[in-house]
Amino acid sequence: MAQKVNLVSLASGYWQSFAIGAALDLGIFSEIAQHKQDSESLCKTLKCAPAHLTALLNSLCGMGLLVKQDGLYDLDPEQRPFLDPDSPESMLGAFAFNQDLAGLWMKLPDCVRSGKPVLPDNPHLGNDPDRTRRFVEGMHSRAGLMARNLLPCLHPPQHSKILDVGGGPGTFSLKLAERDPSLQITVLDLPPVVAAAAEIHAGKAALASITFLGGDYHHSDFPQELDYILYCGALHQEPDQGLDALFTKMLTALKPGGQLVVVDLMLDEDRCTPVYSALFDLNMMLMRPSSKVHSSTMLQTRLQKLGFKNLKCADIPETPYRRVQAEA
């Protein structure tokens, strides 16, 4: 049965995103996380117009992010871990990075007409240091939440030699090392990205099991005789024509019987669903038209032709991501 479409909700969906962006910019979540407050107190602290701030606070309550009782506003208890900046599960970094993308989406018609990006090629990957830092913090924030559901799906044997290809903030590697300190993990990503990642994780005990390696995974040499390769959240950066060379490089780096795990947004064969993945395909075109969200069917077929075996594909629960696992 076709899904019922609410055109009004679809057309005004950006209202909620922009309300969250305004709350971030004004510091509402950070301020309320400290203690419950009424609108008058918040107006004085945040230097806002009373009626306007109250309307925004009430909207955030209606969205389920805040609660209001006896005139006092507080973070919704279920959402507090994700909205409190001091929480290890805080999503505020991911929300801030999403706001960086909002202006790009306003230029989507130009992008579709011209086939050209509306920004320089991937500024968050090193061209702009501030944007790179926000990108890494945002990915760390998002990965921290995703790790709840992904980590139970990852089972590298003890003492495994692991390469985290395009590991970005290294969040999953850190979680793996916290769970099993016997692992030897190398996180490979562009130098500005791994520099920001190392700074974010500074002082954490699990870093004893992790090496951050700056380089371009297309050209940098991989460590050899690997037990496990994790390729998470970077597949959508790759055009079709480069995938065979990349996965052959991974196959060569793995021991016989070693495992490759690819995690990313992936489309069904018709490329229309899941809708979040279809929209993310557009998101990539705003920055890098050669990139795309790939289908899980295509990926499995390609890996099998290259010589991988025992392929498995599964959705990662409560996330829009899928996992494809293969054996060398």
Q: Look at residues 219, 158, 216 and name the one whose alpha carbon lies nearest to residue 185.
A: 158
| pLDDT tens string 155-178 | 999 999 999 999 988 889 999 999
Handedness of CA 83, 86, 92, 94 (dihedral sign): negative
Please provide the average confidence, as pLDDT, over all residues in the chain: 91
Helix (H) or strand (E) holding 256: strand 254-264
Domains and their CATH numbers in the chain: 7-83 (1.10.10.10), 147-327 (3.40.50.150)
- pLDDT score at 198: 85
> What's the pLDDT at 3?
64
Please give the pLDDT value at position 1. Answer: 46
Question: How many whole angstroms separate alpha carbon 99 and alpha carbon 105?
Answer: 10
Q: What is the pLDDT of residue 125?
A: 54
Please tell me which residue, 65 or 131, carries the higher pLDDT value: 65
Q: What is the pLDDT of residue 129?
A: 66
Q: How far apart are CA 200 and CA 235, in angstroms?
A: 24
pLDDT at 122: 53
> pLDDT value at position 201?
86
- Residue 248, classed as helix, strand or coil, is helix
Mean local confidence (pLDDT), 310-321: 93
Residue 124: is its pLDDT beyond 60?
Answer: no
- Note if the bond before 274 is cis, omega within 30 degrees: yes
- The reported pLDDT for the residue numbered 121 is 55
Task: Say what the pLDDT of residue 169 is.
Answer: 85
Condensed to tens digits (0 to 9), the pLDDT of residues 67-116 reads: 999 999 999 999 999 999 998 888 887 788 788 788 889 999 999 999 88
The whole-number pLDDT of residue 216 equals 94
Share of the chain above pLDDT 70, in %: 95
| In the chain, % of residues over pLDDT 90 | 69
Per DSSP, the three-state class of 149 is helix
Q: What is the pLDDT of residue 22?
A: 95
Q: How many CB atoms lie within 10 A of CB 162?
A: 26
Residue type, 201: H
260-280 pLDDT, tens digit each: 999 999 999 999 999 999 999
CA–CA separation, 32 and 86 (whole Å): 12
Bridge partners (DSSP) of residue 315 are: 322
Report pTM. 0.86
Tokens describing residue 34: 């400290």
Residues 28-43, mean pLDDT to the nearest whole number: 95
Among 9-13, 63-67, 80-84, which range has the highest average pLDDT? 63-67
Q: Which range, of 101-115, 121-135, 216-230, 275-289, averages the lowest pLDDT?
A: 121-135
